[in-house]
Every structure is written in structure tokens, then in C-alpha cells.
Amino acid sequence: MVRKRQILVIGNNTNGCTPKHEKIAYDIGTEIAKSNSVLINGGLGGVMKAASHGTHDAKGLTVGIIPQDDASLANEFCDIVIPTGMGLTRDYLNALSADGVIIIGGGSGTLSEACASYMYKKPMVAIKNLGSSVDPYIDGYIDHRKNIKIIGVDTAQEAVQKILELTTA
């Protein structure tokens, strides 16, 4: 049996998540399901919930790795919930669980997950022009190490296509 590709989607939680973020996340979730990949995310609201919803509606598999120790706190579209009880430290579990990462907006939490992914050299794609904490690094590197370039794209379809090109399961 071949292991399925695992794509981490990160971005704005409920605070700061706009209808535009939600639409892009939903469409990315749908495209992930169509690619027969597994959606990994933080399992909560905002971009995480919208991406899970898209994957769920397209009959894909969603995994929510939540910072709390209570699985009932995950959004209703998570098929598998991993309650870590680790708080923000769970960002490293998210990064290490991923074959590649798609970034949709986001603040300091998203930047933390992007940095964890960067340290582990996970391929990353970011939607451009969303005013996120990651914007200064799109089409460049987070630091002098030049571990992995964060590639900027314009659409949900481009994001999933590019991450599929950059990753293998």
C-alpha cells in the first residue's frame, strides 16, 4: 500500500479570517481531496475549518492536530482529531506530519508554523496578496540559511498543483 501525501494547510484562525480567506481555503481543501491527498491542519476555526470543510465535501480525509487535550474542540469537519495538549508546541507536530505546506494569510501563529516547516525543509506554497505575516518571505527565504523557498501563487488550484509538484508521499 502506498502512503498518501499529507498536505498541511495553515493560515488565519477565526480572528482575522475573511470570507476571501475562507473561500480560498475551502477551494484548496477541495483540490487536496481531488488529488487523493490527506489534509492536515490545526483542526480549529478560520482557514482550518474552511479547508476541512472543502476536503470533507469532496469526500477527502481530514486530520486536525489541535493544541488542546479535548478532541471535542476540533471543528466538525475533522475526520481524525489528534488532541495534543501541547498548546502552540503542536506547530512542530503539524510541520513534521506534512509532506508540504500551503499558507493562506495568517498572523504570528501561522508564521510560527511556517518557521517550524522551514526548519524541517518542508516545501511551502503561499497565496499572495493576503496581507499576512508570511508576505515578506513569499518568493524568498525566511532567513540566511535558505532552507526552502516559499513559493507564491495566486489561486487555490495553483497552490495545490505546485505543492503536488514539490512533494512526494
Q: How far is it, in rounded angstroms, from Cα 11 to Cα 163?
A: 16
| pLDDT for res 156 | 98
Mean pLDDT of 41-67: 98
SS (H, E, C) 38-60: EEEECCCCCHHHHHHHHHHHCCC
Q: How far is it, in rounded angstroms, from Cα 156 to Cα 104?
A: 9
Residues in the chain: 169
| pLDDT for res 2 | 86
Closest CA to 13 of 40, 38, 42: 42
C-alpha distances out from residue 49 to 23, 103, 115, 120, Å? 11, 14, 22, 25
pLDDT of 33 higher than 70: yes
**Confidence band of 34 (pLDDT split at 50, 70, 90):** very high
Q: Which CATH architecture has domain 6-166?
A: 3-Layer(aba) Sandwich (3.40)
**Confidence band of 7 (pLDDT split at 50, 70, 90):** very high
Q: What percent of the chain has pLDDT over 90?
A: 95
Which are the contacts of 137, defined by CB distance < 8 A and separation ≥ 6? 114, 126, 150
Q: What percent of the chain has pLDDT over 70?
A: 99
**Confidence band of 1 (pLDDT split at 50, 70, 90):** confident
Is the whole-model pTM more than 0.85?
yes
| pLDDT for res 169 | 66
pLDDT by residue (tens digit) across 143-164? 999 999 999 999 999 999 999 9
Mean pLDDT score of the chain, rounded to an integer?
A: 96
Cell reading at 100: 508540504
DSSP string, 102-158: EEES--HHHHHHHHHHHHTT--EEEESSS--TTGGGBTB-SSTT----EEEESSHHH
**Confidence band of 120 (pLDDT split at 50, 70, 90):** very high
Q: Residue 44 CA to chain centroid, in angstroms?
A: 12
